[in-house]
């Protein structure tokens, strides 16, 4: 990696002020570093300055009360996976966190870093390949090797969003607090992520001088069941070939509301309104769950090597729905 200066953060004001000195890539934030270090070592990013966020006080807490859940951006993935209230009332989130990488990475990787991590695309991660995402002309996955690429929302960059926590949090209706030089703002996590058609270079709406500080999740409704199903080639560590975060408000076998968000299949966590519509108000059985899966992928546009993800995604959604009814 190239040389950089390393600054311990003392306050959010200091962080946003340092970030405001340049555009993307000059000054970067580091917390767990499990994503960024890889990028630095591969020269995908070559920042001049790194700001260490671990020295910011009070940003790693998890609180659960009647209003819901508040998780600081510096909470580790392991903290989330092991939190008793999350395990009990926000199961999909605990399961998603537990599915991330390895214990070593979960111990240092943070919520904020997980949401803001960059794509794993093998063209993007190769320093010598100047792909569209990095300002080049071509998304190589379109004609190249696309086994791990997007089937939904890809055009013109077919990366998949690698986060496991994001689909789970979006399915739970989470909001995100962002701090910039102008102060703080809150937006729904779903709105945070963007597709390449909007911005091929970034995966979210964060400005170069902003920082994610907290995620809030509304109180889980009674009779809610939730699951995170992650298909992968290896038990661990491995990113999702496809994943489904499903939150189901149930009345017996009838689904009152469903929230279905997909991971590993689109450049952003992908809420499937089609699957949700197919399940909402329905008595869940095999044909209903299968229809939900089929509806979710009806607009899928697979590339040369990833048509299997269409079937896989469809099957994961119907499996999650059947689990909700059982």
Partner 1 sequence: MASWGEASESRLIGKRINRLSGKDKVTGKAKYTFDINRPGMLYGRILRSEVAHATVMGVDTSEAEALPGVKAVIPLIEIGNKLRYQGQEIAAVAAETDDIAKDAIRLIHVDLEELPHVVTEADAMAEGAPQIREDWAGNQSEPNIREDGDLEAGFAEAAVEVEATYSTAVQTHVCLETHGHVVEWEDEQNLTVWASTQGVFGVRNDFAQHFELPANQVRVITEHMGGGFGSKFGPGIEGRAAAELSRITGKAVKLMLTRKSEHLVAGNRPSMTQNVRAGATRDGRLIAYDMKGHGTGGISSGAGFQAPYVYHVPNLRTERVNVAVNAGNQRAMRAPGHPQASFAMDSLMDELAEKLGMNPLEFRRINDANEVRQAQYTLGAQEIGWHRRNSVPGSGTGVKKRGIGVGSGLWGGGGGRGTEARVTINADGTVEAVTGTQDIGTGVRTVIAIIVAEELGLNTTDIMVKVGDSGPGLPSGGSGGSQTTPSVAPVIKTAAAAAKQKLFERIAPMLEAPIDDLRVGTGTIYVVSDRTKTITWEQATGQLGMESISEGGHWDEELRQNGAAGTQFAEVEVDTETGAVRAIKIVAVQDCGLAINRLTTESQINGGVIMGLGQALLEERFMDPYTGRMLNANLEDYKVPGTLEIPEIKSIVFDTHRRVTGVGEPPCIPTPGAIANAVYNAIGVRIRELPITPDRVLTALAEKKA
| Residue nearer to partner 1 on the CB measure, 1 or 197 | 1
Per CB under 8 A, does 235 bind partner 1?
yes
Which one of residues 126, 181, 202, 301 is an interface residue with partner 1 (CB under 8 A)? 126
Residue placing its CB nearer to partner 1 in the complex, 7 or 231:
231
Query: Could you tell me the strand order of the sheet in which 49-52 lies?
Result: 5-8, 49-52, 27-30
Residue 123 binding partner 1, by CB under 8 A? yes
Residue from 140, 228, 248, 270 in contact with partner 1 (CB under 8 A): 140
Stretch that binds partner 1, among 18-26, 76-84, 126-134, 261-269 (CB under 8 A): 126-134
Span of 51-59, 170-178, 249-257, 299-307 interacting with partner 1 by CB under 8 A? 299-307
- Judged by CB under 8 A, the residue of 48, 54, 120, 177 near partner 1 is 120
Q: Does 290 bind partner 1 (CB under 8 A)?
A: no
SS (H, E, C) 17-54: HHHCCCCCCCEEEECCCCCHHHHHHCCCCCCCEEEEHH
Q: Would you say 19 or 98 has its CB closer to partner 1?
A: 98
Q: CB 242 → partner 1: shortest distance, Å?
A: 9
Among 53-61, 168-176, 197-205, 235-243, the segment contacting partner 1 (CB under 8 A): 235-243
Residue 54 found at the interface with partner 1 (CB under 8 A): no
Q: Out of 26, 155, 207, 238, which residue is the one contacting partner 1 (CB under 8 A)?
A: 238
> Which among 55-63, 86-94, 249-257, 302-310 is the span making contact with partner 1, rule CB under 8 A?
302-310
Does 48 interact with partner 1 (rule: CB under 8 A)?
no
286 binds partner 1 (CB under 8 A): no
Q: Where does this chain touch partner 1 (CB under 8 A) — which range of 29-37, 88-96, 177-185, 234-242?
A: 234-242
Q: Contact positions toward partner 1, by CB under 8 A?
A: 2, 120, 122-123, 126, 128-129, 140, 143-145, 147-148, 231, 233-238, 241, 305-308, 311-312, 315-316, 319
């Amino acid at each position: 990696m190239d040389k950089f200066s390393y600054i311990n953060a003392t306050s959010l004001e200091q962080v946003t002020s340092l970030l405001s000195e340049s555009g993307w890539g000059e000054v970067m934030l580091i917390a767990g570093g499990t994503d960024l270090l890889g990028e630095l070592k591969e020269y995908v990013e070559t920042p001049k300055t790194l700001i260490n966020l671990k020295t910011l006080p009070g940003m790693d807490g998890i609180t659960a009360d009647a209003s819901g859940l508040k998780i600081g951006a510096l909470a580790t993935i392991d903290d989330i996976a092991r939190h008793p209230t999350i395990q009990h009332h926000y199961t999909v989130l605990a399961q998603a966190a537990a599915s991330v990488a390895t214990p070593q990475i979960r111990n240092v990787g943070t919520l904020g870093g997980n949401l803001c991590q960059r794509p794993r695309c093998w063209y993007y991660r190769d320093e010598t390949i100047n792909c569209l995402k990095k300002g080049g002309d071509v998304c190589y996955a379109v004609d190249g090797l696309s086994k791990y690429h997007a089937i939904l929302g890809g055009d013109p960059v077919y990366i998949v969003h690698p986060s496991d926590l994001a689909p789970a949090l979006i399915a739970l209706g989470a909001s995100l607090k962002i701090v910039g030089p102008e102060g703080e703002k809150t937006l729904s996590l779903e709105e945070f992520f963007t597709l390449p058609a909007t911005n091929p270079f970034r995966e979210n709406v964060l400005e170069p001088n902003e920082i994610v500080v907290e995620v809030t999740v509304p109180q889980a409704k009674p009779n809610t069941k939730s699951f995170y199903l992650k298909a992968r080639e290896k038990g661990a560590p491995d990113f999702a070939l496809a994943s489904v975060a499903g939150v189901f408000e149930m009345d017996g076998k009838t689904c009152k509301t469903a929230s279905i968000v997909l991971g590993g299949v689109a450049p952003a966590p992908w809420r499937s309104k089609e699957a949700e519509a197919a399940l909402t108000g329905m008595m869940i059985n095999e044909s209903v769950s299968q229809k939900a899966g089929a509806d979710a992928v009806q607009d899928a546009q697979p590339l040369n090597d990833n048509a299997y993800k269409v079937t896989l995604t469809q099957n994961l959604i119907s499996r999650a729905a059947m689990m909700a009814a059982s």
